[in-house]
């Protein structure tokens, strides 16, 4: 499994992509097979993934309101988009 952080955004898309370490660390509701919200939608849905960025393991969240979601981590400057490739 590989993970990438994508910094910057604009009309031309991300400007910088950085490879980072990723691991699975499920929360209790994941282990129980439950959804974080009743609808399954929301702005800050925790995933089973964590990425290491700036020597700190950070939870990956999903913002989902339709049939597609965006994975991200949060830092002091805002959100950083995450791409996770499962092999």
pLDDT tens for 32-75 read 999 898 888 999 999 999 999 999 999 999 999 988 899 999 88
Task: Yes or no: say if 22 and 51 are a contact pair by the CB < 8 Å rule.
Answer: yes
**Residue 5: is its pLDDT beyond 80?**
yes
Q: Which residues of 1-37 are buried (b: 16+ CB within 10 A; e: fewer)?
A: eebbbbeeeeeeeeeeeeebebeeeeeeeeeeeeebe
pTM (two decimals): 0.85
Predicted local confidence at residue 9, as pLDDT: 64
**Residue 11: is its pLDDT beyond 90?**
no
Q: Which helix (H) or strand (E) holds 29?
A: helix 28-31
Q: Stretch 16-37: mean pLDDT, rounded?
A: 92
């Amino acid at each position: 499994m590989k993970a990438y952080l994508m910094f910057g955004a604009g009309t031309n898309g991300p400007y910088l992509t950085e490879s980072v370490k990723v691991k699975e660390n499920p929360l209790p509701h994941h282990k129980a097979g439950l959804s974080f919200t009743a609808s399954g939608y929301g702005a800050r849905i925790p995933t089973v993934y964590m990425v290491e960025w700036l020597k700190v393991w950070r939870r990956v969240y999903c913002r989902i309101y339709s049939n597609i979601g965006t994975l991200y981590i949060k830092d002091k400057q805002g959100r950083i988009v995450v791409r996770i490739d499962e092999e």
